[in-house]
Structure formats: structure tokens, C-alpha cells
Structure 1
Amino acid sequence: KDQIDVEVAAIHIDHGLQQESPAWSRHCSDYCRQLDIPLETVSLSLQSVSGESLEAQAREARYATIQQLMQPGEILLTAHHRDDQAETLLLNLMRGSGVKGLAAMPPLRHFAEGWLARPLLEISRSEIEAYATEHKLKWIDDPSNALTDFNRNYLRHEILPGLTQRWPAAAASIADSASHLAEAAQLLDQESYKLLTGMIAAPGRLQLEPLLQQPRAWQKLLLRHWLQQLGLPPPPRKRLAGFVQQLTADSQRIPQINWSGVELRRYNNQLYAGRRPPQHDATTEIEWRTEQPLKLPSQLGELQMLEGRHQRLMVRFRREGDSMRWHSHQRSLKSIFRQLEIPPWQRSRIPLIVDNGAIIAIADLAYADETTLHLDWRRQS
């Protein structure tokens, strides 16, 4: 830290999975005190999650904790090395990953409001151990790293040694392949970004026609990139492939897939993606004194009067047979929603403003004839 004139701090995460973990925390504390490096120690209490390995839970909890501790612009440095990179590629290969997964770990990526860097990614484990021994550095080996019950440890102790015996540069060659795949993934990312720019209709909406002009493989890739841009997890590969096949089906149908709390659907030649909304009681009625904004239930956002006479109104949601006088005709809400191109699954969650039993506004989307209100519906993102 003296040579490069930067502030350095350390983070130690105690997962609470080993009896020796208090001693490990003391080791980190003593070491950082000797080097005059501030240390943040956090103890975790992991809960068993069905269908998820303890190894994956610990990793997710560790990174989530570090993410909360990092300040904007800070850089997290991890000690992942070339052998780790080879293991990661092999693990992802066993999972059937695509180009991005087989690119393994990037040397630098955005993380929290800063960066995550892996400066040792091109250095082997043996080189690091030799350096530590030569400079008499003290370290602790986690005994769980010897357990071959964990997939990564199985690769490390059972598979890679055999590969290295046959091909001495196996780990380096595998890591090189990851680097080549990372370059290919970057090119695909750049091209996907260009193509998506002309397809996005609105936040969470994608135009279908230009997507269908692309080859099937590009369709799946573009959908994955679009979902990633929205901050949504990727769908299972087979489900996405099945959904893409349905996109050329009868336009009256509304194909959809659901996964991990996310919904992806087609409607009116557009795709809609977003997190599944919470359950909503459509029978709810709320009195609204319009001089104050109205907070809506079920994460539906807030209504505010921008123009109009302050009064006492009712806010409710769609019912069978609802209608409103709109464009000089009494029209059913169903026909108005169709003209506004509002997808069917969203209609029951749109607040209706009622005065003396008559619907005078559909949120801020449509107003009854002769209504002087002007509203703002701030949807909750």
C-alpha cells in the first residue's frame, strides 16, 4: 500500500461453518494489525436452502455482505488464481454453460458501486505458495478444501491432477481457453447491445418483429441479454428455447414462461418481462381526499392530483361490466384497455378513480369525457 499510495482495507467473512473459525478471525486480526491495515470482520448465520449447495449459499452470502460494506468507487481484490479459473471452467462445462459461463471469471467487472478485480488470475497456485513460503508468510488452509464432497474440491483433487499428469500445462491451457471465450463473449455482448437498442419499446418491453428477423440462436441470446439489462435472472435454457419456439404461434395466444419470480410474455407483437407482482385484492376500495397523494396497496405505487378541484373520490379496481364515457361514447373498460394496448394481466392492477359511482379516470391513462382531472400515477418499480 505504501508503494502505490492507496488506502487498503481488509474484509474477513466468518461463515460459522467450522469450529476453528474464531481462530481464523483472530489470525486475520493479528495479521492486519501488524500491517496497519483496518479490518472489518462479519459473522454470518447461514440457513439451509432447499436445492442449493452449502458452498453456493456461502458464496452468495459472502458477496452480498461485501457488497453492502463497499463504498462507491472502491475496488474489491480477490485472490482467485489460474487453477481456480481452470476449475471454474470445468464446473461450468459440467453444468452445460454457454460461452459466457465457459469464459469463467473475468479479471475485472463492476461490483456494487465499484469494481471487483482478480489480479492473480494468470498466476498458478504453486507460484503463489512458493512466493508465500519464500517470504515466510503465514496462512491457514481451510480443512473443508480437502473434502471431495464439494464439486470444486473433487475437480481440484481428483480430476485436475490426472489431467496435469497427462498434460503438464493443463490448468494453464484451460485458463487460456477461458480467456478466448471471454473475448468471444465480449464481442457477443457488444453486438447484442447494438441489436437490442433498436428493439426496446419501453422499460420491460421489447418489439417482437425485429427480434424474429434474427436467427433462432440470436433470438435466445438477445432475450438473455435483455433480461440481464433489466436486472432479471436468466431463465432455464430449455424453457427459453420452448418460449422462443412459441413466438411464431398464433398472435392471439399469449405464450409465457415463469421462473425465479420472473414472468416473460408476448402480447400485441411485444414481449413483456418483469418480476411477478405480489398478490392483489381486486375488491379493495379506498377513499381518497385528493389534496394528499394516495399510497396504493400491493406495491401499486402512488396517485397524485396534478390539476383539478380537490374533492373526495373513491379508488377501486376493475369489475365485470365496468364502463366509462370516453371519446363521446360509453365504452366498456375492456375495449378501452384494448385501445390503450394494456396487457390483460395488468388490467386488474390499474387503479380506477370513481366519483358518485361513475368511473372518471383510469389512473393517468384515460379520462372520462368532461372530466377536468389531471393525475399522476407513480408506479412502484
Structure 2
Amino acid sequence: MERIQQFIEGHHLFEPQDPLIVGVSGGMDSMTLLSFLVQTHQGKIIVAHINHGLRGEESDQEAEFVKNYAGEISLDFAGHQILPGEWERFSSDNKQEKARQIRQQFFLEQAKKNQAHHIVTAHQAQDQAETLLWRLIRGSGLRGLSGISPKVEWQGVTWSRPLLGLSREEILRFVQALKIPYVEDSSNAKIEYDRNWIRHKILPLLNEKNPNLVATLNETAQILREDHAILASLTEGDFRHLAQPEGGGYVLSIKEYRGLPKARRYRLLRHLWSRVLGNYRSITFHHIEKMDSLAHQSSPKSHYDLPKGYFFQKYYWKIYMGSKKT
């Protein structure tokens, strides 16, 4: 418990009096987080639970378990069951990604409703290791390989992960010592889910070569996260110096853009995309490479369609990224 408190203080996650929205699935990690906060946090705690409805009666039982537990310890409970039509409101073809987006939206709604500026989730060290491995397998840049940050500011709220410094084994010992109740999600054993495949197939194999692999990958993520922060600051400077808002996007001087080293150009294009769309999703290395190639062609005009209805254009002395042609 002391290590969790040290992690919270060391990363300045939240203050003792801050109201918190705590994401609780009912599993071992989230119940550990809730138990710790109940014993140590002085501010208001709102237990937030999403019933994805993907496992029928089991999902309903988990929702009831979390609701009843919150009631037993006199905490406010906010629950939401995803209805079939709700899945269609989110663009991803991956159901796990859609579920994540729905959770985020619900947590944000609860934060606004309760005037809370902190959302707390139970990601731990093995989640970090699995995330890093999956992004490496799928393909990712420095930002993606930075893994899960202890805290991030998004949509006007601070998202914190107080358990990120703990291994699964440490959490299990914590649960056993304090006899913390929890439920087991049967889908965690299904290796058709990417994270479960890594957890049950890849990590055990790699652990044979490095028994401290989870700790090693967490250290690697921290190093990359710190390096990314420096480069992100440089990219923000390039954006402020070179990009001008125009129409539904941004325009840059081709001469100034071409004067940047390749790595800075690529990072700047990704940053422009995040400013236009509001996040980094849907843009790939292929898109970045194609845009940079067009910016270096000798033809005075060129046009390239981007995801989500956006465009990239070269037009004589300038390049443009946005929602309509210049």
C-alpha cells in the first residue's frame, strides 16, 4: 500500500481531497485500486462501471457485484449498460476498441456530472508490458512505444493509473492479505483477443529468456516516454513556427517544411493530423510517407485523400492539411 501512495505522490497524480471517478470492472486489479482508495483517499469517490453485455449473465452478475460492493462501503455508484445500437456510434471495427471508447465517454460524462477532474483506472505493470509488446508487433512510433503514461490530460480531465508501478504478483499478494473480493472475467482466458494472446502465449515464452521481462519492458517504456516528451516539445515548436490555421486545417510553407530533417517532418505531419482530427487515430506511417513524398515532388499541384474525409494538398508554395481543399 505504501508503494502505491509513493507512486501517486511521485507522479503528482491527484491530491488527497480531489473527487475521483474510479473505473471498477470488478476484477482483481480494479478492486485492489478501490480498496486502496477507500482506505487512504479523503475526497469523494464515485465508482463507475460499464456493463458491456458481451458475456450475458456473467456481465450482469459483475455489474451487480460492483454495485452491491459500492453500496456496502457507502460509495456513490454510476453504472451503464451498453445497448446493441450504442456500438454503432463508434467508428472502430475492433469491438475491444469500441468498448474502450464507450468507457471513456461514460467516465467523462460522470466526471462532468460530479465536477470531478480526475478519472482513475487500474492499469498495472503487466498491462504496460502487454501494451508495449502489442504496439511493437503491430508497428508503432516512439509515442506508441512510450506505452501507458502514469497520467495524461485529455478532454479537460486528468486520467491516472496509480497501480502502474505494481506487478500482477504484488497485486495478488495484496488481495490475499486483505481478503479483497473480486470476480474473474472468463473472457480473459480467450486467446483470440490480442492482449490475452500476448499474456498467455508470448509473455511466458519471452520470460524464459528474461524472468524480469515485465519490469524490463516497464523501464523501457519509461525511457521512451521521456525521450518522446523532449521530441514532442520540439515538434510543438515546429508547429507553432510553421503552421498557420486556414479553412478547416493548417497551411505550411513548402520551403520551410522541406528545410526540416526527415524525422521532424514526419513528426510534424502526425502532429498536424492530431490538431485537425483531435487525436492520432487512423493515420499510418504509409499516410505520413505519402504526404512527405508529395511535398517533395516537382509538380506544382497534388492532392491526397486522408481518412475521415480529410485532405492533404500541395499547392505551389504551400502544403495544406484539413477538411476542405484550398
TM-score where L is the length of structure 2: 0.80
Listed as ranges, the gaps of 5+ residues in structure 2 are 1-37
- Per-residue CA deviation, residues 25-44 of structure 1 (Å, 9 max, x unaligned), is 11111110111110100010
- Per-residue CA deviation, residues 189-209 of structure 1 (Å, 9 max, x unaligned), is 011111221102225223222
Displacement of 1:50 after TM fit?
9.1
- Per-residue CA deviation, residues 302-338 of structure 1 (Å, 9 max, x unaligned), is xxxxxxxxxxxxxxxxxxxxxxxxxxxxxxxxxxxxx
Q: Determine which of 251, 273, 290 is the counterpart of 1:227.
A: 273
Which of the pair is proportionally richer in helix?
2
1:41 maps to which residue? Answer: 79
- Per-residue CA deviation, residues 215-272 of structure 1 (Å, 9 max, x unaligned), is 1221111111122233254522112202211212235213323212222222242232
2:94 maps to which residue? Answer: 53
> CA 1:4–1:168 in structure 2 vs 1: closer, same or farther (change >3 Å)?
same
- Per-residue CA deviation, residues 29-63 of structure 1 (Å, 9 max, x unaligned), is 11101111101000102547897222222112221
1:216 equivalent in alignment to 2:262: yes
1:173 equivalent in alignment to 2:216: yes
Between the two proteins, the alignment pairs up a number of residues equal to 278
CA distance in 2, matches of 1:51, 1:107: 25
1:14 maps to which residue? Answer: 51
The runs of 4+ residues in structure 1 deviating greater than 3 Å are: 1-4, 46-51
Structure 1 stretch 256-265 or stretch 7-16: which is displaced more? 256-265
Letter of the 2:269 partner, please give it.
L
CA distance in 2, matches of 1:275, 1:124: 44
Conserved 8 A contact 1:251-1:269: no
Conserved 8 A contact 2:295-2:319: no
* TM alignment of 1:68-217, pairs within 5 A: 68-71=109-112, 73-203=116-246, 204-208=249-253, 209-217=255-263
CA distance in 2, matches of 1:85, 1:2: 26
1:242 equivalent in alignment to 2:290: yes
Letter of the 2:110 partner, please give it.
L
Query: What is the Cα-based RMSD across aligned positions, in Å?
Result: 2.0
Conserved 8 A contact 1:103-1:179: yes
> CA 1:264–1:73 in structure 2 vs 1: closer, same or farther (change >3 Å)?
farther
Displacement of 1:3 after TM fit?
4.0
1:293 maps to which residue? Answer: none
2:103 maps to which residue? Answer: 62
Letter of the 1:228 partner, please give it.
S
Letter of the 2:95 partner, please give it.
L
Conserved 8 A contact 2:301-2:313: no
TM-score where L is the length of structure 1: 0.69
CA distance in 2, matches of 1:273, 1:102: 26
1:315 maps to which residue? Answer: none
CA distance in 1, matches of 2:93, 2:138: 14
Displacement of 1:175 after TM fit?
1.2
Conserved 8 A contact 1:73-1:115: no
2:7 maps to which residue? Answer: none
CA distance in 1, matches of 2:66, 2:52: 14
Conserved 8 A contact 1:12-1:42: yes
Which of the pair is proportionally richer in strand?
1
Partner SS, residue 166 of structure 1: coil
* TM alignment of 1:188-337, pairs within 5 A: 188-203=231-246, 204-208=249-253, 209-230=255-276, 231=278, 233=280, 235-250=283-298, 252-275=300-323
1:26 equivalent in alignment to 2:64: yes
> CA 1:92–1:215 in structure 2 vs 1: closer, same or farther (change >3 Å)?
same
CA distance in 2, matches of 1:259, 1:51: 12
Report percent identity of matched pairs.
25
Conserved 8 A contact 1:233-1:260: no
Partner SS, residue 167 of structure 1: coil
Listed as ranges, the gaps of 5+ residues in structure 1 are 277-344, 347-381
Letter of the 1:133 partner, please give it.
Q
